[in-house]
Structure 1
Amino acid sequence: MTELNVAEGELTPVQLDEVVPFNIDALDARGRAVLLGPSLTTILGRHDYPEPVARLLGEMTVLTVLLGTSLKFSGKLIVQTQTDGPVSLLVVDFVSPDAIRAYARFDAERVDAAIEAGNTLPTEMLGKGMLALTIDQGKYMSRYQGMVQLDGSSLEEIARNYFKQSEQIPTEVRLAVGKLITRDDEGNQQLTWRAGGLLAQFLPESEDRVRQRDLHPGDAPEGADLSDQEINDDDAWAEVKALVGTIDDSELIDDNLGVHKLLFRLFHERGVRVFDGHPVVDKCSCSREKVEGLLRSFTTEQREEAVEDGKISINCEFCSTHYEFDPSEIK
């Protein structure tokens, strides 16, 4: 792994679709940052989502990429929401080391009504429900799943709460999504998307500092007063949170700024080390063989019900690839 001490003369060119790990040793913090471009534009462009839906799925994609690239093994991270809002379902898969795919399911009438009323914030699009994070290490390993309630908070706040409750790790997350309208050489409009994110965590090696971040285990009797259990932030972590809090949405999606310059802007006084970036690619895991295997698992009656105009037709919800089978192929 190549290490770079970020200084003004060492800033690298802006890289899109690349997750950059970083350490701030003086503050016992580490994290990852990313600026998605072509991969996200392709994912969102396949489905022609209404803008509020596209922005919400873009946020989920960035969050999943930041989490998925931390996996230390070959496997899959699935981040999924199920809610009562206009956007009832979001699913983003990250397959290590670099493949991402995503889709959204929504009620078109409710989304149109929300747009007309101006109620298009991500929290209003999601509503209330659950967010699940599933880690799949393969067919010979047990799945791990963590759940967190969606209560009208932003995805940023949901991610903070997840790490606080499930991982006992103080975490800060920033997410932003934006669209760019450009013109090609023939004057035709082109829509491209940008989505940026930064995740920072407090991971001290000192035993005293580790003890300071231990949280209440959550087994207190119902109704117990835990006000005196409030744990003050370590000074170093308080500084990290304050610096991350200065990030503007426009900085996270700025092609001219990029991840390296943003990290320098935030942490250069403390010294920030960045490492080799991890590329992210739009890649669906579906195939004709997998779809055929799924159909073979159906009962004869189920396959007969799926026949229309003499064929069985299947569309992948992620990449929109269309598959057709003659019923006689599937026995």
Structure 2
Amino acid sequence: MTEQLKLGDFGHAGDDVIVPFQVEALDVRGRAVQLGPALDAMLDRHDYPEPVARLLAECLVLTALLGSSLKFDGKLILQTQSDGPVDMLVADFAARGSMRAYARFDEARLARAQKEGHTTPEQLLGTGVLAMTIDQGTHMQRYQGVVQLDGTSLEEVARTYFRQSEQIPTEVRLSVARQLLPEAGGGKSSWRAGGMLAQFLPDAPDRMRLPDLPGGDGETAAAEPVHLDDAWAELLALFSTIEPDELLDPTIGTERLLYRLFHEHGVVVFPGQTVADDCSCSREKISAILDGFSGEEIAESVEDGEIRVNCEFCSKEYRFDPAEFDGAGGD
């Protein structure tokens, strides 16, 4: 049985903890998070240009909110592929709370976009696809849902994904900031991000109905208007009052924000899940991949007498003696 904790029963969850919540009067369940040191470590390691770091931080918050819903020992992987200056984002969340991420971008195109002031997430991504993959582990089939990136925000893409794939009304808010912290001898900047996701889950499925999405076939006839359920309409109205700073301000905290939004209806929070900057790469995993290389592939991988492999997620370098493999995979 899941332990339920009412607001006021305990202190703030603090940074890097995903807090599930429920507003029974509105038939709403959701999750909220403030990312601090874990996010800062992941972004600082790569030293991305600021617009890229901000975009990847949004991706990490969204991945944490989605991945923490997993009920089994698996992994959720969020990946974009698009034609913008930032042509790929990858973030994954393991059920135990481990997260990692990286971004790929074109330096020349990014510099041009910055010069022209085209640095919103939508402009950096451009058009393409966003895929959400649920990896249930060895010997289990993967599930993947894909949604178009068409110049809209990651918030809007997430809403569209849930309407298309699960027909669940979903609202998402994301926020990212780089803060200057006072220190002896000068200030130090650090990354913070926050987000909140709410889903409408009434007992009667017909109450979840939303207007159909545009079909993209050029038809101009107006779709039949659909009345939003009063409870969901109120949730949307309450979410519209959230200021970006409230989502990530440690002096406000997740629980205090939830109380401000939902105290009139009654809100229950559940024990949180800690988020960790924890890459799953290892020497053994990379060695197993190299074991499958042919002799020719091993020879092509040698540089200055050794094989060097860098993890794109955590930037850790692994070095191997080519003699360890000797074309074990065969030609």
Quickly name the TM-score band, shorter chain normalised: over 0.9
CA-CA distance at 1:297 after TM superposition: 1.4
* 1:259 aligned residue: 254
Choose from 273, 276, 295 the match for 1:278: 273
Counterpart of 2:112 in structure 1 is 113
Question: Residues of 2 paired with 1:131 and 1:261: CA distance?
Answer: 32
Paired residues of 2:68 and 2:97 also in contact (CA < 8 A): yes
**Partners of 2:216 and 2:192 in 1: how far apart?**
46
Instruction: Provide the rounded CA distance (Å) in 2 between the counterparts of 1:168 and 1:259.
Output: 27
Aligned to 1:200: 198
Given the alignment of the two structures, is residue 298 of structure 1 paired with residue 293 of structure 2, yes or no? yes
Structure 2 partner of 1:139: 138
Which AA in structure 1 matches 2:18?
V
Q: Is the 8 A contact 2:210 2:228 kept in 1?
A: no
Q: Secondary structure at the match of 1:232?
A: coil
CA distance in 2, matches of 1:221, 1:16: 41
Change (3 A) 1:329 1:249: same
Is the 8 Å Cα contact of residues 122 and 152 (structure 2) preserved in structure 1? yes
Q: CA deviation at 1:22?
A: 0.4
SS at match of 2:46: coil
Deviations 1:243-266 (A, max 9, x none): 011111111110100100000011
Q: Distance in 1 between matches of 2:251 and 2:13?
A: 7
> What is the distance in 2 between the residues matched to 1:133 and 1:165?
13
Deviation at 1:100, TM superposition (A): 0.4
Aligned AA for 1:82? Q
Q: Give, in whole Å, the separation in 1 of the partners of 2:307 and 2:216.
A: 55
Instruction: Trace 1:32-43 onto structure 2 (pairs within 5 A).
Output: 32-43=31-42
CA distance in 2, matches of 1:166, 1:135: 13
Q: Which residue of 2 aligns with 1:95?
A: 94
CA distance in 2, matches of 1:211, 1:192: 45
2:128–2:150 CA contact under 8 A, matched in 1 = yes
Query: In the alignment, is the contact (CA less than 8 A) between 2:97 and 2:273 conserved in 1?
Result: yes
- Separation in 1 of the partners of 2:161 and 2:67? 15
Q: How many Å separate the matches in 2 of 1:97 and 1:299?
A: 35
Q: How many residues align?
A: 324
Structure 1 residue aligned with 2:126? 127
Question: In structure 2, do the counterparts of structure 1 residues 224 and 183 end up closer, same or farther at CA, with 3 Å as the change threshold?
Answer: closer
Deviations 1:30-81 (CA, angstroms, capped at 9, x unpaired): 1000000000000000110010000000000000000000000110110000
**In the aligned structure 1, how far is the partner of 2:283 from the partner of 2:208?**
49
Q: How much has 1:216 moved relative to structure 2?
A: 8.0
Equivalent position of 1:313 in the other structure: 308
How much does 1:184 deviate? 2.8
Per the alignment, residue 3 of structure 1 pairs with: 4
Cα pair 1:14 1:256 within 8 Å, conserved: no
Distance 2:303 2:13 in 1: 49
Over 3 Å counting, the alpha-carbon distance change for 1:278 and 1:48 in structure 2 is same
Alignment CA distance shift 1:295-1:226 (3 Å): farther
1:294–1:27: structure 2 CA closer, same or farther, 3 Å change rule?
same
Q: Counterparts in 2 of 1:185-224, with a 5 A limit?
A: 185=184, 187-205=185-203, 207=204, 210-214=205-209
Q: Return the offset for 1:302.
A: 1.1
Shift of 1:329: 1.1
The residue identity in structure 1 corresponding to 2:77 is I
Structure 1 residues 223-242: aligned runs within 5 Å: 227-242=222-237
- State the shift of 1:290 in Å: 0.5
Q: Give 3-state SS (helix, strand or coil) of 1:79's partner.
A: strand
| Structure 2 Cα separation of the partners of residues 135 and 248 of structure 1 | 31
Provide Cα deviations, 1:135-179, integer angstroms capped at 9, x if missing partner: 010121111000000000000000000001111000000000001
The farther-off stretch of 187-196 and 315-324 is 187-196
1:12 deviates by 2.0
The runs of at least 4 consecutive aligned structure 1 residues that moved more than 4 Å come to: 215-218, 220-226
Shift of 1:188: 4.0
Task: Label 1:174 to 1:215 Cα distance change in 2 as closer, same or farther (>3 A).
Answer: closer
Identical amino acids, percent of aligned pairs = 55
1:46 match: secondary structure: helix
Q: Compared with structure 1, are the counterparts of its residues 169 and 296 closer, same or farther at alpha carbon in structure 2 (3 Å cutoff)?
A: same
What TM-score comes out, normalization by structure 1 length? Answer: 0.93
Quote the Cα distance in structure 2 between the aligned partners of 1:183 and 1:147.
43
1:300 positional shift? 1.4
Superposition deviation, residue 229 in structure 1: 4.0
| Paired residue type of 1:70 | S
Shift of 1:191: 2.1
Deviation, 1:227, is 3.9
Counterpart of 1:49, as a letter, is Y
Q: Distance in 1 between matches of 2:36 and 2:26?
A: 30
Does residue 250 in structure 1 map to residue 245 in structure 2?
Answer: yes
Pair 1:286–1:272, CA change in 2 (3 A): same
TM-score by length of 2: 0.93
